[in-house]
Amino acid sequence: MERGISDRSVLDEFAEDFCRIAEKHVKYIVVSGYVAISHGRFRATEDIDMIIERVDFEKFNNFHQELDKAGFHCMQSTKVKDIYEYLEKGDGVRYVREGTLLPPEMEVKFAKDELDELQLKTRKKIPFTGLDIWFSSIEMNIAFKEELLKSPKDLEDARHLRKIYEGDINENFIEEIKRKIKKERLK
């Protein structure tokens, strides 16, 4: 079963428009709540979370300039050096469509550790969603939601993904990721 074009939302259009630009400049993944939403889970969200590979200033500047030309505005600053510094410090930056401060918004962060690098390495385009977007793997999303995030919303997202991919997910990989999360993020 796949989602159809008629199931597309403003959030989907925003995500695909942003990701189409990202694809030209950086290796990226979309993670967290939007993964479950793109699989038909109904819940509210204001942002889409994106992790990008660490790149030098020039490469990021090219990415940012194309986003700017396409009408995406960074909420933290209009100065690309400032935006890059936020990312370098480990902070996220948020982009919205020009002329609005309303959702949807894309929160962009640099990969920060081995776990993020593994997510980028195992990224997938998921046919079920009908979207031309690189996502972190279903197993990665389940592991992060069950082991690290653990809010009721996150646990329901994980249950939703488990239900959709029942029989198709690699439980050993999920457990391996959970061990890495304990070691790297919950120390």
- Mean pLDDT along residues 36-56: 91
Q: What does the pLDDT read at residue 13? A: 93
By CB atoms closer than 10 A (0-12, 13-18, 19+), residue 5 is exposed
∠ Cα 15 95 92 (to 5°): 105
Kindly report the CATH number that applies to the domain delimited by 8-137: 3.30.460
- Mean pLDDT along residues 45-72: 96
Handedness of CA 52, 31, 166, 185 (dihedral sign): positive
**pLDDT mean across residues, the chain:** 93
- pLDDT tens-place string over residues 79-101: 999 999 999 999 999 999 998 87
pTM score = 0.92
- pLDDT tens-place string over residues 129-170: 999 999 999 999 999 999 999 999 999 999 999 999 999 999
Q: What does the pLDDT read at residue 74? A: 96
69 Cβ partners below 8 Å, 6+ apart? none
* Statement: residue 43 has pLDDT above 90: no
By CB atoms closer than 10 A (0-12, 13-18, 19+), residue 132 is exposed
- Give the pLDDT band (50/70/90) at residue 8: low
What percent of the chain stands above pLDDT 90? 87
